[in-house]
Each structure stands twice: as C-alpha cells, then as structure tokens.
Amino acid sequence: MIEIRGPYHTSVSYGYLRDLLEDWSEYVDGYKFAGGSMRLLPRETTRKVISLCHDHGVYVSTGGFVERVIVEGSDIVDRYLEECKALEFDIVEVSSGLAPMKLEDKVGIVRQVQKLGMKAKPEVSMMIGAGGGTHVVGYKTKMRTFQDVANEAQAHLDVGAKLLMLESEGITEDLPPSKWRKDAVKKLVYRFGYKTWMFEASDPPVFKWYLKSFGTDVNLFIDHSQVVEFTAWKLGLWGDRDIWKGEKISYSPR
C-alpha cells in the first residue's frame, strides 16, 4: 500500500487533491491528515475531503493526532475516536512520538479504535520523543533498544492490529545513507515480515532504498508531491540505472 501525506508541510487544498486523485489515484491507496491538520479545517470541509478520497477508492487516516488529544484526558480521547468514526475516517494512527505514553495506554487505544469498527495503525519509533520538526529544535538523540521496539510491535499485533507504521526519525530521517539504521529495519522485517510494516519514506533516496531492498509491493508512506517519481521508479518506467545495466544501447533507422 502507498499512503500519501496530506496537509502539513504544504496546505494540500481540496482543489489540488481533487486534481491529483483524478489523474493519479490509480497509484495511491491512502491519504493521511498529518499533524492534526483536519482540526484546522471546518468539519464539513474535512468530511468533503474524506468523501473525495472514498470516491477514488482511497482510504483516509487521521495521522498520529491522538497523542495530542490524550493530553486532554481519556474522555476526550473517546470523544475524538467517536468523531473520527462519525466523519468516516478509515484508519486511526496511534502514535506516541512526542508523548511519553505508556504502552498499555497505546494498546488500549488500539483496542478502542477496533471496537468502534475502524482500523488502528500503531506507529512504532526507534527514537524516544521524536516527531515532526524534531531535527529543527536541536534534539539530542535518545534511542530505544531493538528489543523494546519489537516488544511494542508484538503487543499491538497481539490485540489485532494488522499494519504498523515505522517512524523514520532515528532510522533514515535527516541522516546520511551511511548512518541509516538498515540493520534495525531488516531485523524488524525478518521477525514480523515486511507486509506487517508501513515504512515512512518521505525522501526519494529513502523510498528508492526500500523498493530495491524489499520489492515493489512494500508498504510506504510518501509525500503527496512524490507520487509520480515514486511510481516511475516502482514500475521501472524511469530513473533507476539498473534499467540500462547490461543492455546493448543502439539505434538503427529503418
């Protein structure tokens, strides 16, 4: 599955999204409201965007906004999830990148999402306290052990989650390729299978590595602006030097 980022770094207006999906929805499976951006829109506009996605066969995710909502208390989390259901969100992402949330609380939210008839997509991170903009504020890296990450992944799978998101901070984001945690990614894939994961890959060099490492049916989260470049690489239409490797290149006019 390929999920694209909606409003966050750029506004992604309704008109832009309509045009994007009319031309390219064949190559998009999901659409994610990042950073609580749906809360900045009128309720009916959010509903209109969700309906547009559904009309094109594209599911809609809340993004990881629940970690902001939980600051307001458990009752507000329940109200938030009920509103997600009413607005016809398909997936609720359950993250704790910036919030110091206990694992049992995350698992409880996963259960509640599924109880309401939506799909939960827990986000798992190698970096402690990581989230959007972390690199900008001079964050001092704090990493979790692989076993801790694996234990969290298993806890979510044990309560019925089918797809997990791997946060890019601490893995690839803002790191040179020589320092990417390829070892951690490969160990998670070996233990749980690559179809269990959706990898955040919102930089072209990153999604190209995932394609080459795990094949064209790997689940990736990319930016909306990258749909064309990503698909061209995925289908071998353009860009990858391997297309020309070992080929005899010549032209003889008729």
For the stretch 73-118, pLDDT in tens is 999 999 999 999 999 999 999 988 777 889 999 999 999 999 999 9
Q: By C-alpha distance, which of 22, 23, 19, 43 is closest to 33?
A: 43
Is residue 254 in some structural domain? no
**% of the chain with per-residue pLDDT over 70:** 95
Give the confidence band of 136 by pLDDT, cuts at 50, 70, 90. very low
Is residue 79 in some structural domain? yes
Q: Which residues span the domain enclosing 224?
A: 2-243
Is residue 6 in some structural domain? yes
Is residue 188 in some structural domain? yes
Q: How many domains does the chain have?
A: 1
Q: Read off the pLDDT of residues 53-67 as tens digits, 9 standing for 90 and up.
A: 999 999 999 999 999
Is residue 96 in some structural domain? yes
Q: What is the CATH classification number for the domain harbouring 31?
A: 3.20.20.70
Averaged pLDDT of the chain:
92
Q: What's the pLDDT at 128?
A: 76
Is residue 248 in some structural domain? no
Burial of residue 144 (CB within 10 Å: 0-12, 13-18, 19+) is middle
- pTM value is 0.92
Instruction: Outline where 159-219 has alpha helix (H).
Output: 182-192, 204-214
Is residue 25 in some structural domain? yes
Task: List all residues 6 or more positions away from 47 whose beta carbon is below 8 Å from its beta carbon.
Answer: 87, 88
Q: What's the pLDDT at 239?
A: 86
Q: What count of other Cβ atoms lies within 10 Å of the Cβ of residue 200?
A: 23
Is residue 235 in some structural domain? yes
pLDDT at 131 exceeding the cut of 70: no
Q: What's the pLDDT at 144?
A: 85
